[in-house]
A and B are shown apart, each in its own frame.
Chain A
Amino acid sequence: EVELVESGGGLVQPGRSLRLSCTASGFTFGDKAMTWVRQAPGKGLEWVGFIRSKAYGGTTEYAASVKGRFTISRDDSKSIAYLQMNSLKTEDTAVYYCSRSWGMDYWGQGTLVTVSS
């Protein structure tokens, strides 16, 4: 059974950093791209970024709103995808979800990030 579990969320002050993890199980993690999506309180879904599998270069894509501040990486040996978030802003407050592949066929439960002083 495919499972994705996000962790690492919490309360952080503006300008600080936070790293989220997405631990996967139930499939061959290294074969799949991974996507990060966020949802601000009471709002819709916003695509954050994407990392290809190593077979496709392991390269990344980002939304304009996070480019230069957020970095997605992966450790296929541990089946974990990471979202490193730097220079956090209050508008980054959201539930952050990881999902499998471009098609987002499986989702984690999400982890809440609150950016506030």
Chain B
Amino acid sequence: DIVMTQTPLSSSVTLGQPASISCRSSQSLVHSDGTTYLSWLHQRPGQPPRLLIYRISDRNSGVPDRISGSGAGTDFTLQISRVEAEDVGVYYCTQATQFPYTFGQGTKLEIK
């Protein structure tokens, strides 16, 4: 199975400041079709997860452009250019390149 490792596991950020979360996979996420199926999800307390980013850097509908994804191969990053109060919660990276699909442990983002 592909292991997804996120760092940090928690982060406290001042409103308006940037935040960054890293995700590393135990093997390349490049599918045989050439696509890298790496996504980022956000889960607010008491809510289901919400898809933010798919295929490394494509934003889901309604996701603001201050949230972006980057990376390649086995190393990926989620960046928030200016943290807002609505960004609190837990962020997960996930891969859909190979079954079983797997998730990172989650990164908890708090406001300082």
Contact = CB atoms under 8 A, between A and B. Distances in A.
Interface of A: 35, 37, 44-47, 50, 61-64, 97, 99, 102-110
Contact of B106 (A44, A62, A104): A44
Contacts of B99: 50, 61
A98 B91 CA distance: 18
Nearest to B61: A105
B63 to A, nearest CB: 11
Contacts, number: 57
Contact of A45 (B51, B54, B103): B103
Interface residues of B, number: 23
Contacts of A110: 48
Contact of A107 (B39, B48, B102): B48
A44 B6 CA distance: 12
Contacts of B50: 107
Nearest to A47: B101
B96 interface: yes
B5 to A, nearest CB: 12
A37 B92 CA distance: 13
